Structure 1
């Protein structure tokens, strides 16, 4: 699958499809997947302001294999825990959206940020492993551009009156700074919250995430992997790839890399890797099952 360049300037404006819509969305069984039709298109469009939306057009009647591709996209999006929202458009049921976007080939995929496509339309149905590579690379590109938000989990139930999905008010300044590409300002804002309340785990996670983004700015994924493979005992090279893996959603790979490095190191070097791994635990979230497993692996490696 050819990686499409991430570019906001000149993106196609989808606002012409916007229309008033009820807040409820048609979920398809996943926390980060939604069935898109004319009624909830506006909501999905607005969701792309928070974090990227991957819009997939498929047709069960004209191209049955496109339905499988749509579900593959949804499955991969779910692996990223809110980094992406998969929006599935059945053009048999919702032809107006496809007509408005001049969809001529099925399946077809768009990536939306701020209500607009940020890649060229991506045709065809690559296998799921290629999709994972695409999502990983796309996540890196978007993060480098300051697009670092996450969607909240969805359900089929309507949103309660007065309930709003979005950023916690405490974190608005930091998240706005990230969206503007000012990572240093975001770090400063999160650091203020942590200093005021060291027990605020959410602020701590935000700070760790912002620091992770700063560490990986301008890093080329392929060059970093090549350097780590060529020098397996180079701590800095291994830490960079672990950072990139976490950003790309390959959390278990990142943890396994650092745990193995801890097994091979001693004293100050071991402590450097251990502290880095703990920071990555904070990024993912201390209640995440992958972190719990990672902590067990860390304890085993240390003792």
Structure 2
């Protein structure tokens, strides 16, 4: 089973990304459940999927964001491409994303947002550099990557996104312009979850971080090797750490006190929840490289925790592990 490693509860990302400003996550999740029930009913009745024929690549503005991204994310994962006309790397990445959106034939929708024309959305997502790619699934933020990536890496990331959407939310794309009605894959049932694990996921989804942490720990007490519970716990602990942060103060401390290990740990957490995965990893690798003893071990262990949040198969984790090995040995 692919880990649910990139699902971050938007309600807990105050100061980093405020999706609640456009749509409450709980309301979106409710719509997602309704959409799943409707798809199941259509599949049982042999009816074509609702919504067939919507475009797979769309330009989104501040006025259309709620409808085109948040509401649509209850039916299909929406990949959000932040770009600008002057951005050279954007011109390399955007054609790859557009081509894959067409190739995936409705399993994702690509929403393109010009950051110059939609500065409010860019601020809400904490965009610090472009190209930046995120996703929204059932109203929940899923950080993907920042900077240009080659097609093989983008394909791998999108495959992981689709797996998370299917297994965690029961959202199966395929109702878009290129999809065929009655596709058996689109009607595939969700794999049943362990009730204790499902309770932990539900606690995380509703923002009960303390309850989620305890529930994941309970699962791990009985099943120490449960990878999904390990990832869920790492995610809940990350969100618990950042929910009380003052982002400006954290970043100011990290910039002015490069030898302050705690400041660098806090800034790395903010980087990660803001979708700046490489920045988070790079910051901690640098911290490991410039410290020794207990400080070095603290930074190394936090980096390993963040690896768990993203997932061991992610190419950014592989690259960061290599960088970490260089500074350690």
Range class of TM-score, shorter chain: 0.5 to 0.7
Aligned to 1:135: 125
Q: Encode CA deviations 1:153-205: one digit per residue, 9 max, x unaligned.
A: 55655462642469955542122212222101111111122222222222211
- Take 1:193 and 1:253, find their aligned partners in 2: how far apart are those partners? 32
Change (3 A) 1:268 1:199: same
Alignment of 1:245 onto 2:283: no
Q: Gaps (5+ residues) in structure 2?
A: 1-16, 43-47, 60-66, 83-90, 102-107, 129-138, 144-160, 164-172
Alignment of 1:22 onto 2:32: no
Alignment of 1:195 onto 2:221: yes
Aligned to 1:236: 262
Aligned to 2:240: 214
Asked whether the equivalents of residues 34 and 86 of structure 1 are also in contact (C-alpha less than 8 Å), the reply is yes
Aligned to 1:276: 302
Q: CA RMSD in A?
A: 4.9
- Between Structure 1 and Structure 2, how many residues are aligned? 229
Q: Gaps (5+ residues) in structure 1?
A: 57-67, 79-84, 89-106, 110-123, 139-145
Aligned to 1:6: 20
Asked whether the equivalents of residues 69 and 78 of structure 2 are also in contact (C-alpha less than 8 Å), the reply is no
- Take 1:280 and 1:230, find their aligned partners in 2: how far apart are those partners? 23
- Take 2:81 and 2:286, find their aligned partners in 1: how far apart are those partners? 38
TM normalised by structure 2 equals: 0.54
Aligned to 2:154: none
Aligned to 1:177: 203
Q: How does 1:26-45 map to 2 (within 5 A)?
A: 45=71
Q: Encode CA deviations 1:240-287: one digit per residue, 9 max, x unaligned.
A: 110111111111111110011111100111001111000000000011
Q: Which has the higher contact order (CA 8 A, sep 6+)?
A: 2
Residue among 197, 205, 214 paired with 2:231: 205
Asked whether the equivalents of residues 255 and 277 of structure 1 are also in contact (C-alpha less than 8 Å), the reply is yes
Any runs of at least 4 consecutive aligned residues in structure 1 with deviations exceeding 3 A, and if so which? 3-9, 18-21, 23-28, 33-36, 41-56, 85-88, 127-134, 146-151, 153-159, 164-171
Q: Larger helix proportion, structure 1 or 2?
A: 2
Aligned to 1:62: none
